[in-house]
Structure 1
Amino acid sequence: MTGTKIKNMEEFASVSGISRPTLSKFFNNPDSVRASTRKRIEAALEQYDYQPNLYAVNQNRRLTKNIGVVVPYLADPFFAKIARTIEEYIIETGFRPVLLGSHGSPAMEIANLDNLRSIKPAGVLLAPLGRASDQETLEAFCEEVPTVLFDANIDTIGEAFVGSNNEQSIGLIVDYLCRTGEAPCFFEMRSPTNPNAFKRRSAYIAAMERLGHTPHLIQAEGEGWEFEEIGFREGMRALSDRNLTTNTILCSNDRLAIGVLSAAFETGLKVGIGEDCDLRIAGHDDHPFSKYTCPTLTTVSQDYEAIAKKSASLLLERIETEKAADSRREALFDGRLIMRSSA
């Protein structure tokens, strides 16, 4: 024990280095924080011989029915669709969704979480930017507010992660493309923001090697969320240089594929599965626009509904039990091959 007498929780938070909201959660219900955090608090209580005023703690406790839903880019129909599915499910369970978009900006992502903190949400469903996210700040927020991640995973953050099984889905479409024509090259961004892109790259390489083919990466320059523009610009460069090792291009996501489709049209190349076609192009995600491209885009569909409902159900379970899981949970859903005219 130290010789210093701690008068209130603010002083205890200051000397212990543990945030005030995290301490409030602990004193309301010790099982509501992670086991490692609980041990830190218990050790600090012993060290400083602090006895909280439990009446004041209970008076400050206000659990709302608000659930925050934060996505990287609401203008993207992919995120709009999955967010709408989450929103409908949350409303059915009696909670109030608060939907926010980060516009691809790390600063806006943090501002969204700060705004949610001010309305005391019961929990948050977060699709993080990924590599661009301020991970230290996100981790601090998740220590205060029950949070489940979906779509993009950051291993150290949140109660759980729900997303697609990229290894399975990329393996599925690589196998299809190899069975029906030339083995594909992989068109991706050199420095992608979303962690899914790295997993898809690794899954492509593994699938190609498993099938006895040599992987070939086409890495597009560019950053941010203007994927169609990057796909078009870098697709024009790749097609104009004529340096493709195959007539089949698998894109890391459908939005890049839409840009490459446009580049092929501009360069006079015919995309499709007929004998008179020059290229096959495929994507991943089953973006809502992929069924309306020309030709329509072969892709892998993510299970939007399953991802949305599982994310929400894990968060609601956490809210209802007021108890953090002993370990971070992960749920991955397999993709489904969507065969259309482009490959």
Structure 2
Amino acid sequence: MSMTTSTSSANQVYLFRLEALIKDGGTAVVRNIIDQKLENVPLHKVLANERSKIFTLRGNRAIRRADYELLYPATGIPKIESIDLSLALCLLQHLKCFQFNRDYIRSTLPNSTDFSPDADLCRLQIYRSQIASMQSTTAVGETEFRMRWTEIEEVLLRLNNRVQQPVYDLREIIDRSKYFPLGVADNMEREEHIVGRNTSLKRRIEMKTQRSPKDTCIFDGRPIILEDDDMDCLDKSLKWFARGGFGDIYKGEELFDIPVAVKKIKTENDKSMLDITTSEMMVSRIRYQFILPLLATCCRKGEYWFISPYCENGDLAKAIPEDINKTPNELDVRRRINIVFQLAKAIEYLHTPVKNVRDAIIHKDISSPNVD
């Protein structure tokens, strides 16, 4: 790889990380601010009282039609977890119940000595717009990255520290956006700014830059939906290696930079299929270093595929001899402690609810065959 190509790729990563910081950190903080300003008043009641104002915002194109329909769904009630950063900032700035200082509704940054919450919300919106406008350039240099990162991070931390119940894992969100290796899902999203969103997974992966297996093992938890040609390409490389509780499991090599395990599930029982798919899609929302991620899903002719990284060494059940006291094995004390530690951290992560994101998750089947 040439130095020019390497530098260009790194600069694209800088832009992607800034986008992740704004999207993940900013959304978590602003949703939390709205939630606490509501003071236990249901969101749908506030929106009902402010409907005429929101209708005006829609007419002025400050709110898109899709956002309006999200706030006033045909069935059910709106949830704060469904509101993205742009819509959340718009609501905070324009609805009277949130008491936002309208002097800060502008396109220029507030005075550098003004650290009021409204000033910081104004800064956050301007930073978001600036980062979004950079997507056409697809890259940002290291110096600019460090400067913008510091500005955005300081705003997020100040806003979070001024509420009674701050986002408890904001530091984790910030660090994850800055340091976590980018995997296939991240790079695909980054490359979509360049090649467009109507390209198949196979074509997008052909266009990617070289990555090491270590980098491609880390994904952001958002599953890729495979198209028919992607499934055909992957299906040719599949080799059966195990029988699971609900279907066969295959090892595949195509489409991804790492070997993958493909779980094929086919059942005529609607309830069983609902339970299976609900469980698998719940996994798709989990992003944690000690939990095996769901990389991709697809469905064809009533058969569901769930694709995860393939673990070369098998599961813990296979690593433990039947007669552990007499048979030599590779699980020395250090490795056992490491396994227990990682398992405990994974369980702690699942059992800890994330406000405005998800409830606690109970696994119900933690056993050696499920530890890879």
Q: Same fold (TM over 0.5)?
A: no
* Structure with the higher fraction of residues in helix conformation: 2
Task: Give the TM-score normalised by structure 2.
Answer: 0.22
For CA contacts below 8 A with separation 6 or more, give which structure has more relative contact order. 1
Task: Give the TM-score normalised by structure 1.
Answer: 0.24
* Structure with the higher fraction of residues in strand conformation: 1
